[in-house]
Structures are given as structure tokens and as C-alpha cells.
Structure 1
Amino acid sequence: MPKVKTRRATAKRFRITRTGKIVRRHANHNHLLEHKTSSRKRKLRKTSLVAESDAANVKLQLPYSN
């Protein structure tokens, strides 16, 4: 069997935790930050987990992540 290719864009955006969950960054933290409150920007810095409904699609694109 040939190797399966990894979607490089997906590999750059997501990480897999030791327990198999998928971690992502928050949106809206790249530009136009002047009018956003400090607390909102602080919360956007942190990572978040991908929803279970979307996790299956991400794992398909990362075949060697498990």
C-alpha cells in the first residue's frame, strides 16, 4: 500500500493531544484588535478543542496523527 498524504494546511492548523483530542486556535485574533476589549483578546490567545462533530473530518485529513 502506498503512503497516504497528509493535508499540509490541516497539519499546520491543528495539534493532537495525548488523549487524541484536536486542539485549534481561536479566530478573530489577527487584526482589527483596537476595538476589542483586553479580556476578549486575552481569551482569544488560548487554544480550544475542536467540536466532536468536526473532529472526524480533521482526523481524516491527518492520517498519521494517532
Structure 2
Amino acid sequence: MPKIKNHSGAKKRIKITKNGKLKWKKSGLRHLLTPMSAKRGRNLRKAKIIESSDFKAKIIKRYLPYE
């Protein structure tokens, strides 16, 4: 049986916090920022955090078996 590996894209982007929550940087702040409202820009600067019990978190954690 081959060794299970972490998904390299998920490993680079997603951090698992001490409490098991998932945290990553939101996209959309590289270019074409002029038409964006200031409120949207502020919200995109914040990290995205989801609870460990969330359905999406359970799917994402499959990509990171050794994290």
C-alpha cells in the first residue's frame, strides 16, 4: 500500500489552528482593485476561518492527513 501524502496545494495554503479550525488567506487582492469598494477590500484582508465541525472542514482535512 503506498504512503498517503498531503495535498501540496492545500499544504501551502491552509493552516490548522491549535483548536482544529482551518485558516487561509482569501483571494482577490492582487490586481483589478480600483473598482472594488473599500469595505470589500477590508473584508478580503481578513483570514477565512471555518470551524472544525463544518462539513467543508471535514472534506479539506482529508487533503492534510499529516497536519
Which TM-score bucket, shorter chain as reference?
0.7 to 0.9
Higher helix share: 1
Aligned length: 65
Task: Give unpaired runs (5+ residues) of structure 1.
Answer: none
CA RMSD in angstroms comes to 1.8
TM-score under structure 1 length normalisation = 0.81
Greater shift in the superposed pair: 15-24 or 26-35: 26-35
Q: TM-score, normalised by structure 2?
A: 0.80
Match status 1:34 vs 2:34: yes
How many Å separate the matches in 2 of 1:46 and 1:38?
Answer: 13
Identity over aligned pairs, percent: 35
Gaps of at least 5 residues in structure 2 are none
Q: Which residue of 1 aligns with 2:47?
A: 47
1:16 to partner: Cα distance: 0.3
